[in-house]
A = this chain, B = another copy of it.
């Protein structure tokens, strides 16, 4: 459920398309205006600066992802919750691959003006996984490792999801999710 419509929507979509191939630094406000089909005055009227534009883009995209994750696990517990989250994240990456690529490349930058926003958003998305993990394994909340495990799972889905979509798109989605679930079910290091 995108928060924006009309001109703002067109600008955000154009920005994401450009940034997915050219990176953030390589994307100019002139190019955004041209791709979105809006005048430059209108672009700056809607987003006061390039920094603000990218901050809102990530805010909307990661916020929508976190909402999707929360919905996916609603009413589920333990293993079922975690499986639902893995599937929902994989589908989120498939439905907005440009955003997933941007997230992968921005997630550990610490020099952006929107760093606090990104930090909060990253935390919001990871917390949904951490909560499900802490519920399934209460000890991991006590020693704080549920956050690390959440990063493990998130990183696994992000990387194998992008690997699939960018380099091996002919493969069926269910095969990808099965391989991820298998990895975390003790298929690799289990007894």
B-binding residues in A (CB < 8 A): 21-26, 79, 82-83, 101, 104-111, 119, 133, 136-137, 140, 143-145, 147-149, 151-160, 162-164, 166-168, 171, 175-176, 178-191
State the CA gap A187–B149 with chains docked (Å).
10
- Tallying the copies of this chain within the complex gives 2
CB pair B179 A189 closer than 8 Å: no
> Which residues does chain B contribute within 8 Å of A148, judged by CB atoms?
160, 163-164, 168, 171, 175-176, 179-180
Question: Which residue of chain B has its CB nearest to the CB of A165?
Answer: B108
Nearest chain B CB to A72 CB, angstrom units:
16
Residues of B within 8 Å of A109, CB to CB, are 21, 23, 101, 105
From B21, B149, B181, B190, contact of A179 by CB (8 A) = B149
Task: Provide 12 A-B residue pairs closer than 8 Å at the C-beta atoms, listed in order of the A residue.
Answer: A79-B188, A79-B189, A83-B189, A107-B159, A143-B175, A149-B179, A152-B180, A152-B184, A153-B183, A156-B156, A158-B159, A184-B188
